[in-house]
Amino acid sequence: MAVTAEPIPSHVSALDYVIGPALDQGHDVALYAPLMFRREARRRGVEFHRAGTDWTCDRTVQHTASDHWTAAGNASFNGYVFGRLWPDRAEAKARDLIAAWTRTRPDLVIAECSDLGAHLAARVLGLPVLAADNGLGPLLLDLWDTDIAPALTRLYKEHDQDTPTLPEMLTPAPVDWFYETLPHLPSRSPRAVRRTVAKDRTDLTEWRETSAARPLVYASLGTLATAMSGLRPTVEAMYREIVAALLAVDCEAIVSAGDLAEHLHSPDPRITIVRHVPQPALLHRADLFVTHGGRASLLDAVQATTPVLGMGILADQPGNVDAFARRGLGRALDPAATRDEIAGVMAVVLGDPAHAAAMTAAEAELARLPLPDFTALRDSS
């Protein structure tokens, strides 16, 4: 079985719901991805084959994408990144995969939903293929007819293929959680399957004991915006407002800020600032999660039954946190919210047991989803 990923730091962990069950079912799994994911493949015990480049690490690409977000907002960012940049990079990825899969033909391809080159390569070679939703599925469907398919048409014609289409999609959550606001769904709606995470993300080996008298707040704004050099000042400013808000709330807190942690300081020992933590494990100890609203982070929160305060920054994140707020799983704030606004919403969520109850119900719904059966999926593709 071949699994593919595109060069976004968190994207292999977002595919654990595919990789883990495939290994448990005895399948041979190989990850075809840019070089940045070689270590991630080794940690999961799967073969690694280099395919595509680490193009998202290019500073010019990052600055141009950041400029779209800063100057014209998230819609402009999405149109540029997913409607132009991603289709432009599909040709190189497809070329690598066609060469690799001609030598060693997989029985089934599970391609990240945004891996447009992998979708084409599987189609050219007549391989069974499914798209794995990494959180961008609703956004891709929304842009498909207007931006993505037209941008891919020339490349598809060069390979003697008809109109570009998105393969049937697997999604690790009930379909209506994230797809309910789309004007239309494809003829085959995404297939909801159970979500699993890698074992190394569930082990909390280092833990600072907290006071049972105070709630614990965990804050993290993810890896994507932090990795984009043009957005780092915005994200750093958000972290500073969050830390200032935490000082005004009667709680203990852990703030995970990646390499921005060295620029953040708290005068209060109740607040610990770190680079990284095993997030799923820590969330089981937390009473509130302040998050950027990436799909994986929100599902980590559901599985830990931890209410969220979402501050969606870019791509699918604003829509994700709005969807969770509508379901009563927490609250949403604008990324430009002030420390007073953040502190006020923190206090409201911590003081309202309805959010925790809604999370408990959501976790039960998520747990009822079936594990993916890859033999059956291959035979039906």
What CATH code is carried by the domain that includes residue 45? 3.40.50.2000
Of 26-40, 76-90, 196-210, 213-227, least confident by mean pLDDT is 196-210
Residues 256-261, mean pLDDT to the nearest whole number:
92
Average pLDDT for residues 301-323, to the nearest whole number? 96
Q: How many CB atoms lie within 10 A of CB 127?
A: 20
What pLDDT sits at residue 205? 62
Residues 209 and 182 in one domain: no
The pLDDT of 84-109, averaged and rounded, is 97
Q: Could you tell me if residue 373 is inside a domain?
A: no
How does pLDDT run across 342-365, given as a tens digit for each residue? 999 999 999 999 999 999 999 999
Residue 203 has pLDDT above 80, yes or no: no
Residues 228 and 347 in one domain: yes
Mean pLDDT, the chain, whole residue set: 92
Question: How much is the pLDDT for 257?
Answer: 93
pLDDT average, residue stretch 375-380: 90
Predicted local confidence at residue 338, as pLDDT:
98
Whether pLDDT at 126 is above 60: yes
* Residue 2, φ and ψ in degrees, nearest 5: -105, 130
Backbone angles phi, psi at 203, to 5 degrees: -105, 115
**pLDDT score for 207:** 54
DSSP state of 199: G
Q: Residue 105 falls within a domain, yes or no?
A: yes
| pLDDT band at 93; cut points 50, 70, 90 | very high
In a domain, 333, yes or no: yes
Helix/strand/coil (H/E/C) assignment for every residue in 307-348: CEEECCCCCCHHHHHHHHHHCCCEEECCCCCCHHHHHHHHHH
Q: Classify residue 380: in a domain, yes or no.
A: no
Report the number of distinct structural domains present in the chain. Answer: 2
Closest alpha carbon to 147 in 166, 127, 124: 166
Domain with 168, as residue range(s), is 2-199
The rounded distance, in Å, linking the Cα atoms of 67 and 168 is 33
- The reported pTM is 0.93
* Residues 207 and 267 grouped into a single domain: yes
Phi-psi category of residue 73: left, alpha or beta, with phi > 0 → left and psi -120 to 50 → alpha: left
For the chain, percent of residues with pLDDT exceeding 90:
81
**Could you tell me the pLDDT band of residue 187, with boundaries at 50, 70 and 90?**
low
> Among 173, 199, 225, which residue terminates a domain?
199
Instruction: Indicate if 247 and 134 belong to the same structural domain.
Output: no
Rounded distance between C-alpha atoms, residue 73 and residue 177, angstroms: 24
Mean pLDDT along residues 40-54: 95
Reported as a pLDDT band with limits 50, 70 and 90, residue 199 is: confident
Average pLDDT value for residue range 146-158: 96
Q: Same domain, yes or no, for 247 and 333?
A: yes
What confidence score (pLDDT) does residue 241 get? 97
166 and 73 in a common domain:
yes
- The verdict on 329 and 345 lying in the same domain is yes
Q: Is it the case that residue 208 has pLDDT exceeding 60?
A: no
